[in-house]
Amino acid sequence: MKDQLYVYDCLTGKLRVSNGDFMAVGAGKQNTFRIRTQAESAGVFAQRNGTCRFFPHNKITSYSINGNRSAGTAHIKPERFYLFVLSGGCFIAWYGNDDSRPDFGNFDADCWYTYNPESDAWSAEIDFCTLLKTIEQYDDCVLATFYGLDHNAYRLKDLKEVAEFMRKKDGDNIIAPYTEKRKKNSFCCTYCYHTFAPEQAKAIATHPDLLGDTILGERCMKRFSPTQYSADKLPLDEMGSVCHEYACPACHHKLPPFYEKTQHHRIAIVGPESAGKAYFMAALVHQLERDLPRHFGIPFRDADPEQNAALNNMRIRVFYSDTAEEFREGRGFLTERIRSKVWKNGEYADLPRPFTYTLNKDNASHSPVFYHTTLSVDEKENQEILKHAETIFFLFDPSQDPSFLDVIKDYHAEAHRFRNRSICKQSLLLTNIELYLRKTLNLPPGTKTDIPIAFIITKSDLWSDLLGPEPLLPGVRNSTLKVNNIRANSARLRDLLFRLTPELCSNVEAISDNVSYFAVSSFGTMPEEIEDVLTGEHFIAPAGGKLTPAHVTDPVLWALSHADPSLFADA
């Protein structure tokens, strides 16, 4: 096969292959690649008689190629990358045999990283639009590359030319064409949050001789880009074995089955350490598995039993334990496996483990993905999930709030026993969430995000008497999600919360214009404090040893109804 010239547009993701034709670049509609520039025709890529060149047109005084400024013709030699910056255009040219060409399908030109050679520091993942908006903040020595480009990089001082041409058209509101075009069928990895097209996914080898992966280690099967397929259109590994599972091209973690046909809903469960996040998750999954089939005829199942094993083990132990010690062991098993090592930005990061489940209604498939997140100022890995979450569950612990405790003690003489010894300033956690979201989403002061936030007041068995004699309205009745009941409960709970801790209401409502308040009890009853006879350590367990959760599924049903109103009938 003869050599061919490939040109990749980093702003649009467009790839063109020359069969001897010219590939023109410029502002005019007739060009192969349209860019923002003052010239109707800015130059051409040409392949003739085994030679490739780029010819700039007269109106272009200079352009950048591999970090060097040039005004004349550029020769494109075989088997080498050539990185061009031309006015408002950003291209990669490669010339060679198809058998050795780069995997352009693995490129993601909206997933950039910067590198400062002076400090030897890499940035976190950043989209191209944000990179252009903030480009003046970087030193001229900084380099920039995107996912799939391997060891090649642009000089950031050259990309400033692209940003300037973007601003000439859009002012300060830079909109990169690639971001406008972002693939509708793209998938965001539940482990490393890398976004990619389904065709970029790696296949997971099945032949026993292919044990060992470059990222996950020798105990995992090899991940590879499939080139051969079976008659059933399933990928074949290099030993000819049929493969049925896929992995993220960035971190190599296994993807859920039919990930490309499923709508995933990432839910970050945030709160102080003793808010009861682990018990809430166990009760939540247990009740969803029962309530969704019972009320809506929707099955709720594991999407990844292997990765969900820790949460499922805890759920079984806390719901079906015979002793308080067994109940306690369930929580311990989960906390040891609440995070996972993930390859991200060229190193291993300790990230919250995704717990993925699936539910189907008619032809629609949905997967809620839960993340147990303990947020603090320094935990950047935890904060990263906030950027990618579709919904945030903030678990507020009344037993850590002095205002609540002062009132609760009038109703429960034993309430002081469950008070956490180190009072947490939970309003500070909300402030951290707001600051992080404003920074990552580029939200100016006074502007709110539309991310749904469920403000969940936990341990309602401890304080529900503060609401008066009338119980909260049911979130589900007669196989119908009662949205009006959820709104009425929310208003009632906000009124109570505002009377006791108005700063919490103002903080969370400064983040989003879509906040709803919920009261839940993972135990469903006042807990008992138990002493370990061997260690003398104190821990809590549900009275009578059995959980009877209350209202734990309401926040999830509310969140999923926002994502797809057709999931649950409303009346």
Structure tokens at 542: 């549900």
Percent of the chain with pLDDT over 70: 84
Strand order across the 202-204 sheet: 223-224, 202-204, 246-247
Identify the bridge partners of residue 356 per DSSP, sorted by sequence position: 369
What distance in Å separates the CA atoms of residue 168 and residue 399, rounded to the nearest whole number? 55
Confidence (pTM): 0.68
DSSP state of 174: -
Q: Tell me, what's the pLDDT at 553?
A: 94
Summarize pLDDT for 386-433 with one digit per residue, the tens. 878 889 999 998 888 888 877 877 666 555 555 554 455 787 788 888
Transcribe 507-554 into DSSP letters: HHHHHBS-EEEEE-BSSSS-EEEEE-TTT--EEEEEGGG----BSTTH
Q: Which CATH number applies to 4-181: 1.10.10.970, 2.60.200.20, 3.30.930.10, 2.160.10.10?
A: 2.60.200.20
Query: Is the pLDDT score of 183 beyond 60?
Result: no
Of 91-100, 204-213, 418-427, which range is least confident? 418-427
What distance in Å separates the CA atoms of residue 338 and residue 316, rounded to the nearest whole number? 16
Query: Is the pLDDT score of 491 beyond 90?
Result: yes
* Rg of the chain over all Cα atoms, to the nearest angstrom: 28
The region that residue 31 occupies, defined by phi over 0 for left and psi between -120 and 50 for alpha, beta otherwise, is beta
Summarize pLDDT for 433-469 with one digit per residue, the tens. 888 777 777 677 778 887 899 999 998 888 888 898 8
Query: Is the pLDDT score of 205 beyond 60?
Result: yes
Domain positions in the chain = 4-181, 187-260, 262-276+341-567
Q: Tell me, what's the pLDDT at 168?
A: 60
Name, in order, each residue with C-beta under 8 angstroms of 499's C-beta and a sequence gap of 6 or more. none
pLDDT, average across residues 540-563: 81
Q: How far are the Cα atoms of 171, 388, 440, 512 from residue 447, in angstroms, in the given order? A: 20, 19, 13, 9
Going by their DSSP bridges, the two strands 121-122 and 143-147 should be labelled as unpaired
52: nearest Cα among 15, 5, 85: 5
Q: Which residues of 337-356 are buried (b: 16+ CB within 10 A; e: fewer)?
A: ebbbebbbeeeebebbbbbb
Helices (H), 442-476: 460-463
Residue corresponding to tokens 């991200």: 344
Name, in order, each residue with C-beta under 8 angstroms of 410's C-beta and a sequence gap of 6 or more. none
Burial class of residue 475, CB neighbours in 10 A (0-12, 13-18, 19+): buried
Q: Tell me, what's the pLDDT at 376?
A: 56
The region that residue 237 occupies, defined by phi over 0 for left and psi between -120 and 50 for alpha, beta otherwise, is beta
487: nearest Cα among 385, 387, 558, 566: 558
Structure tokens at 54: 């780029």
The CATH fold assigned to 262-276+341-567 is Rossmann fold (3.40.50)
- What angle, rounded to 10 degrees, do the helices at 309-320 and 277-291 form? 80
Summarize pLDDT for 224-250 with one digit per residue, the tens. 998 889 998 899 999 999 999 999 999
Summarize pLDDT for 121-170 with one digit per residue, the tens. 787 777 787 788 788 888 888 999 988 787 889 998 889 888 888 766 54
Query: Is the pLDDT score of 89 beyond 70?
Result: yes
Identify the band that residue 54 occupies on the pLDDT scale cut at 50, 70 and 90: very high
What distance in Å separates the CA atoms of residue 36 and residue 424, rounded to the nearest whole number? 52
Transcribe 384-419 into DSSP letters: HHHHH-SEEEEEE-GGG-HHHHHHHTTT-TTGGGG-
Identify the bridge partners of residue 264 per DSSP, sorted by sequence position: 367
Q: How far are the Cα atoms of 87, 490, 563 from residue 557, in angstroms, in the given order? A: 49, 14, 10
Q: Tell me, what's the pLDDT at 41?
A: 85
pLDDT, average across residues 241-268: 91
Q: Which one-letter amino acid corresponds to residue 39?
A: A
Q: Tell me, what's the pLDDT at 82?
A: 94
Of 24-33, 54-63, 174-183, 261-270, which range is least confident? 174-183
What distance in Å separates the CA atoms of residue 423 and residue 405, rounded to the nearest whole number? 11
Name, in order, each residue with C-beta under 8 angstroms of 288's C-beta and a sequence gap of 6 or more. 300, 357, 553, 556
For residues 423 and 400, is the Cβ–Cβ distance under 8 A? yes
Summarize pLDDT for 323-355 with one digit per residue, the tens. 666 666 666 666 667 788 898 877 888 888 999
Query: Is the pLDDT score of 539 beyond 60?
Result: yes
- pLDDT top residue among 381 and 103: 103
Summarize pLDDT for 519-529 with one digit per residue, the tens. 999 887 766 77
What distance in Å separates the CA atoms of residue 381 and residue 344, rounded to the nearest whole number? 10
Angle at 367 (CA atoms; ends 362, 371), nearest 5 degrees: 160
Calculate the average pLDDT of the chain: 82
Q: Tell me, what's the pLDDT at 493?
A: 96
Q: For residue 471, which phi and psi values (nearest 5 degrees)?
A: -70, 165
pLDDT, average across residues 32-58: 85
Q: Which one-letter amino acid corresponds to residue 557?
A: L
For residues 15 and 71, is the Cβ–Cβ distance under 8 A? no
Q: Tell me, what's the pLDDT at 361?
A: 82
Q: Which one-letter amino acid corresponds to residue 128?
A: F
For residues 80 and 94, is the Cβ–Cβ distance under 8 A? yes
